[in-house]
Amino acid sequence: MSWKNYLSSRAAVLNGKGLEEDNIEIIDIDLPPLSENQILVEMVLSSISPYDFLRSRGLYIVPSSHSNLDQNSNSHTHNMDKINGYVAGVEGIGKIVKVGANALTLANGSLELGDYVIPLNFSSYGSWSSLVILNPEYVIPLKGVNFDELKGLVSVGINAMTAYRLLKDIVSISENEYIIQNGLDGEIGQYIVQLAKLKGYRTINVLNDDSDFENLAATLYDFGADVILKESDLKSGSHQEFFDSLNSPIRLALNCVGGISAKLLADHLSYGGTLVTYGDQRGEPISLTSFQYTKKNIRMISYLPTDYFSSHKPEDWISEYSMLLRMLRNGELKPINREFIKMYINENGGDNILECQEFKERLLDAIKIGENAALQFSST
């Protein structure tokens, strides 16, 4: 890649609400000197996460340390040295390219130049950038992983962990019980199908009417889905006989769509059931009826990954991540198919990060595809 002197990082900086063209700038950010307790990581892959969209709309926390970035003097797009914004991107995989004198170990293993790593905390940076400075305590090494295998691990940091926590933390589900969920075009929902199958839970999966139903349903059945319906099926009541025939309650509904879709999930919860919202694809308000609240005693809560991270120690994170990585690497969990958008050009025998304008164009292409896309910053 370019930047072999490691003086600056080419990064996507967001300075407005929404992942829109006018709110995104590609800026070369000056990197401070590497401290003796830090590592420099060259980003290799970065997901387009649903939490990137939530963060851009102000619905997911951006630490204050992410603002007031130092812009490289050779690439100013403003008449000022500071940029008021933050580097976008919440998860990805990188490669260690420089090590501080006292940065001897990572979160759960030894540290070596050239190791692939999964950052758990990007500190003042974000994954939509060429280089990041990190605290090694919040980095997981990936030993013995080839590049093709990396592509299947790119979203374990947020999406796979969120799916796992949604099934574990909120309602104690028994084997053979049903859960109901929407948002199956997204990666979290697809991981939920797989994890539920492994735990012996059964899933009712509600697809948007405008989805590619046949292909998506085939993928979900391959992942272990039990029942697949369209949103219009719930609206029409055409499957009420099926719901009436269930021999176990539906106590958990997982929503990342919002609006009427969320209400329809709640309609099929048993008494005392819980509707959990972890995303907001449509940006529409969720309105439950007084009957749902008073007669069915439905509980409605939200969930974000920070709920887990803020209440558990880093060693707990590492243990859970290590388990999910093992499951992905041994085939218990199947990686989600995604399109990788190249953010580099191979020339003069090496990979060079795209110039700012083309970087932005490719990034906008990836954003249009959504969470089934990822950014690829290098070929190795």
pLDDT in tens, 346-376: 888 889 999 999 999 999 999 999 888 999 9
What integer pLDDT is reported at residue 28 of this predicted model?
A: 94
Ordered by where they begin, the domains of the chain are 8-155+336-376 (3.90.180.10), 159-307 (3.40.50.720)
- 346 contacts 379 by C-beta, under 8 angstroms: yes
For 308, the 3-state DSSP assignment is helix
Q: Among all chains, which residue has been given the structure tokens 């580097």?
A: 87
- Plot region of 20 (φ>0 → left; ψ -120 to 50 → alpha; else → beta): beta
Q: Is the pLDDT assigned to residue 1 strictly greater than 90? A: no
Q: Compute the mean pLDDT over every residue in the chain, rounded to the nearest whole number.
A: 88
pTM of this structure:
0.88
Of 196, 191, 205, 115, which Cα lies nearest the Cα of 158? 191
The β-bridge relationship of strands 227-230 and 139-142 is unpaired
Q: Please report the DSSP string for 179-247 in residue order.
A: EEE--TTSHHHHHHHHHHHHHT-EEEEEE-TTS-HHHHHHHHHHHT-SEEEEHHHHHHTTTHHHHHH-S
Rounded Cα–Cα distance for residues 289 and 303 (Å): 21
What integer pLDDT is reported at residue 213 of this predicted model?
A: 94
Query: How confident is the model over 103-112, as a mean pLDDT?
Result: 79
Of 65, 53, 57, which Cα lies nearest the Cα of 128? 53
What integer pLDDT is reported at residue 221 of this predicted model?
A: 97
pLDDT in tens, 16-43: 777 778 889 999 999 889 999 999 999 9
Query: How confident is the model over 228-249, as a mean pLDDT?
Result: 93
pLDDT interval class at 53 (50, 70, 90): confident
Higher pLDDT, 291 or 362: 362
pLDDT interval class at 46 (50, 70, 90): very high
For 346, the 3-state DSSP assignment is strand
